[in-house]
Structure 1
Amino acid sequence: MFDAIYRLGDSISDTGNFIHEDPASPFARLPYGKTFFNNATESGRCSNGLLMIDYFALAAGLPFLPPYLDQDVSVICNHGENFAVAGATALPPDVLAKRNISFSPTKYNLNVQLDWMSTYFNGICHNAEDRAKKLKTALFMVGEIGGNDYNFAFLQGKTIEEVRDMVPEVVQAIKDTVRRVIGYGANRVVIPGNLPIGCLPICLAIFQTNNSAAYDEFHCLKELNSFSMYHNDQLKQALEDLRKENPNVIVVYGDYYNAFQSVYHNALLLGFDVESMQKPCCGAGVDNDFSLTKACGDPDAPVCPNPDERISWDGLHLTQQAYQYMANWLIHDILPNLHCTF
């Protein structure tokens, strides 16, 4: 059993940090959050409602994780803290700049989030002994992170081969982060992998082709999904190294790839509209192929009437319903490896 969750990552797990950094963001206005929250600023999530981290907290009997930048909420939270920020990268800006990758909506990359975590623990713990005691029964989640490093590279015209060349550096950054987290006192760490990005509407739009051989039986782009698997394989190897270095720490891989595929491949049974599996619920493309012309949150951007029937919320992020099914799959997959029960 664990009684607190600490989270690093990006928009897949951000519960409000980004909208505190950028209150004018589309994520800070409806229809974001509309399914579960009273308003978008109360949500702060890049979805129509709850994220996987919310379902993890609910399953553990814990409150939703407060965003670190919301000082009204995050004075001292005994049940964890969320340091994830939408748009965050695993690599710092100067490293990305060397590869001519400059776009990032946030300055709060993974290193900054780690510094926040250190500051937070220094504030709630008297010394190293006290910190070790407080964190003994906590769960740490590092990621998903790294997806934006690749996304920004793709958006700036990099080829799959060029982006593939980034993977060792991104994985090393994640590995170094886990080492620091363990140094803070983490005993149980979950490190999620990447989603099958070849199934996401935004990637299908950017890399669309008339070559039918480029797609699998679910009309996902095979080369992009192979790229995700390559990242995940490299990450799993890094976790093996971390386990050998830290035999007393439980290091678990979070299989986002297969959790998503479980939802995708069983969409009909789960109540999703299979005719709209690659159409977002919000933004241009609700009723046809995804388009970058009108983003979710823009004035007059269309919204589908039944978000629970869609897997994709805005072309990049998923709906609450999809996240719930993924979270359930992951909870059953991860818990035995954590040697604890909810």
Structure 2
Amino acid sequence: MAFSSPFIFFNLSLLITIFLSFCGTDPVSSCYTSIFSFGDSLTDTGNYLYIYNSSNIGNFPYGETYFHHPTGRCSDGRVLVDFIEHSSSIWTSFASTISRMFGRSRSSAGSEFCCRGGHCDRCRLLRREEDWRGDCKRIFGRSALVVQRTVAFSLPLTIRGSLFLVGEIGINDYFYLFNNGSSLEVIRTYVPQVVSTIGSAVHTLIERGAMTLVVPGGPPIGCSALILTIGASLNKDDYDKETGCLKRWNELVQYHNDRLQIELDRMRDLHPHATIIYADYYNAAFRVFRSPLQFGFSKGALSACCGAGGPYNYNSSFGCGTHEARVCKDPSLYFNWDGGHPTEAGHRLIADAVISGPYDLLVHACH
């Protein structure tokens, strides 16, 4: 996950408004024509690496499974948005994918921030209309909205016929607070603020013409090798006996997800003409931690495939992609790739669950 500041969300509505002012609002098409993805590294297909050109994710073994070279994805292969984009359940026509990546990650598990304390003096918004018309790969300059796929931008981008993936957003902010000394009790007090800002973003998108929005909840980060390492506890009661995950971290995410669903209900009441879908990333992933063998993860779900040792094969000083890290022989047998992100197999499982599996949400592609 590309970690982001809790303050950046107060600028999200402004960014969306500027962004959509340059997009067409043609009548609703028969199927989704584009995917607009606002999120972090779970859906980033290379934005961070393209913009900053300095990260472990630009090194092998990232990308080894599917692309056979690093692409900027925080995985050994494809990520969630790749599977959503190519799903036959929702994808039936020419499409483009654009992503807004929040925050600035100095590695696949670390972060710096362009916005602090409500100020974005190191971020640049849209400089001029030509940036959108002529150089779409730098739409918002260093604030990281870039085109993820090579598409013909002479074609109109249809907002009403597009699918908007708004998230996952918020989990990186909680990590940021923890990493800067806040207790989980203090972090919990930020949840309403983060969720309210997500709701405001959804509201802005709908007012500007978006008709179909998927808003994911947070995944069970208490099961990630990263959190299990940095949040390690000597108290055995802090761990879920069934899964080995850290309970309080997962309880924080569940609280976030509960508040988010309440907020989305409020948005549905405000905008009954729009389709607002909650994507249950949490339960789609958590079932793996209960029964990893059932889902083909014979090497387990907690330890990272690529890392530099430790109880969960995660070392914050030597992340995947450094000389010190070693990669497993078969990433498909692991759910966790580098400590903070799933393997391609893990991404596929979550995507399948929210597209057409037990948490299916996206089976109706056409309006």
Partners of 2:337 and 2:327 in 1: CA distance? 9
Superimposed CA distance per residue, residues 230-279 of structure 1 (whole angstroms, 9 cap, x where no aligned partner):
000111011001000100000010100001012322310222125x4221
Residue 115 (structure 2) pairs with residue 93 (structure 1): yes
In the alignment, structure 1 segments of 5+ residues that lack a partner are: 64-76, 118-122
Q: Which residue matches 2:224?
A: 200
Residue 339 (structure 2) pairs with residue 323 (structure 1): no
In the alignment, structure 2 segments of 5+ residues that lack a partner are: 1-30, 105-110, 126-139, 147-151
3-state SS of paired residue (1:13): coil
1:307 positional shift: 0.6
Query: What is the TM-score normalised by the length of structure 1?
Result: 0.80
3-state SS of paired residue (1:27): helix
Q: Quick one: structure 1 residues 31 and 58, their matched pair in 2 at CA, closer, same or farther if it must change by over 3 Å?
A: same
Residue 286 (structure 2) pairs with residue 261 (structure 1): yes
Percent identical: 32
Q: Quick one: structure 1 residues 334 and 222, their matched pair in 2 at CA, closer, same or farther if it must change by over 3 Å?
A: closer
Q: Which residue matches 1:236?
A: 261
Pick from 236, 246, 268: which aligns with 1:221?
A: 246
Q: Which residue matches 1:35?
A: 65
Q: Which residue matches 1:46?
A: 74
Is the helix fraction higher in 1 or 2?
1
Are the counterparts in 1 of residues 211 and 275 from structure 2 also a CA contact under 8 Å?
Answer: yes
Instruction: Give the aligned residue type for 2:116.
Output: D
Are the counterparts in 1 of residues 51 and 144 from structure 2 also a CA contact under 8 Å?
Answer: no
Partners of 2:291 and 2:262 in 1: CA distance? 29
Q: Quick one: structure 1 residues 335 and 202, their matched pair in 2 at CA, closer, same or farther if it must change by over 3 Å?
A: closer
Are the counterparts in 1 of residues 354 and 361 from structure 2 also a CA contact under 8 Å?
Answer: no
What is the correspondence of 1:147-166 to structure 2 with a 5 Å cutoff?
Answer: 147-166=171-190
1:136 positional shift: 2.8
1:335 positional shift: 5.2
Pick from 40, 50, 56: which aligns with 2:84?
A: 56
Partners of 2:295 and 2:177 in 1: CA distance? 34
Q: Which residue matches 1:13?
A: 43
Instruction: Give the aligned residue type for 2:287.
Output: S
Are the counterparts in 2 of residues 311 and 318 from structure 1 also a CA contact under 8 Å?
Answer: yes
Are the counterparts in 2 of residues 17 and 86 from structure 1 also a CA contact under 8 Å?
Answer: no
For these two proteins, the number of residue pairs brought into alignment is: 306
3-state SS of paired residue (1:18): helix
Instruction: Give the aligned residue type for 1:167.
Output: V
Are the counterparts in 2 of residues 279 and 286 from structure 1 also a CA contact under 8 Å?
Answer: no
Are the counterparts in 2 of residues 284 and 296 from structure 1 also a CA contact under 8 Å?
Answer: yes
Partners of 2:144 and 2:346 in 1: CA distance? 32
Superimposed CA distance per residue, residues 206-230 of structure 1 (whole angstroms, 9 cap, x where no aligned partner):
1111211111121111111100000
Instruction: Give the aligned residue type for 2:98.
Output: N
Query: What is the TM-score normalised by the length of structure 2?
Result: 0.75
Partners of 2:200 and 2:312 in 1: CA distance? 42
Q: Quick one: structure 1 residues 36 and 116, their matched pair in 2 at CA, closer, same or farther if it must change by over 3 Å?
A: closer
Instruction: Give the aligned residue type for 1:79.
Output: A
Q: Quick one: structure 1 residues 248 and 115, their matched pair in 2 at CA, closer, same or farther if it must change by over 3 Å?
A: farther
Superimposed CA distance per residue, residues 7-41 of structure 1 (whole angstroms, 9 cap, x where no aligned partner):
1100000001100121121111211111111321x
Superimposed CA distance per residue, residues 277-321 of structure 1 (whole angstroms, 9 cap, x where no aligned partner):
221111213775533231111124111111111111010011000
3-state SS of paired residue (1:141): strand
What is the correspondence of 1:105-144 to structure 2 with a 5 Å cutoff?
Answer: 116=145, 134-144=158-168
Partners of 1:287 and 1:303 in 2: CA distance? 15
Q: Which residue matches 2:21?
A: none
Are the counterparts in 2 of residues 6 and 83 from structure 1 also a CA contact under 8 Å?
Answer: yes
Instruction: Give the aligned residue type for 1:53.
Output: V
1:323 positional shift: 0.8
Query: CA RMSD of the aligned region, Å?
Result: 3.2
Pick from 193, 198, 217: which aligns with 1:174?
A: 198
Residue 341 (structure 2) pairs with residue 311 (structure 1): no
Q: Which residue matches 1:209?
A: 233
Shifted more, 164-173 versus 53-62: the winner is: 53-62
Higher relative contact order (CA 8 A, sep 6+): 2
Q: Quick one: structure 1 residues 336 and 34, their matched pair in 2 at CA, closer, same or farther if it must change by over 3 Å?
A: closer
1:80 positional shift: 2.5
Partners of 2:361 and 2:38 in 1: CA distance? 22
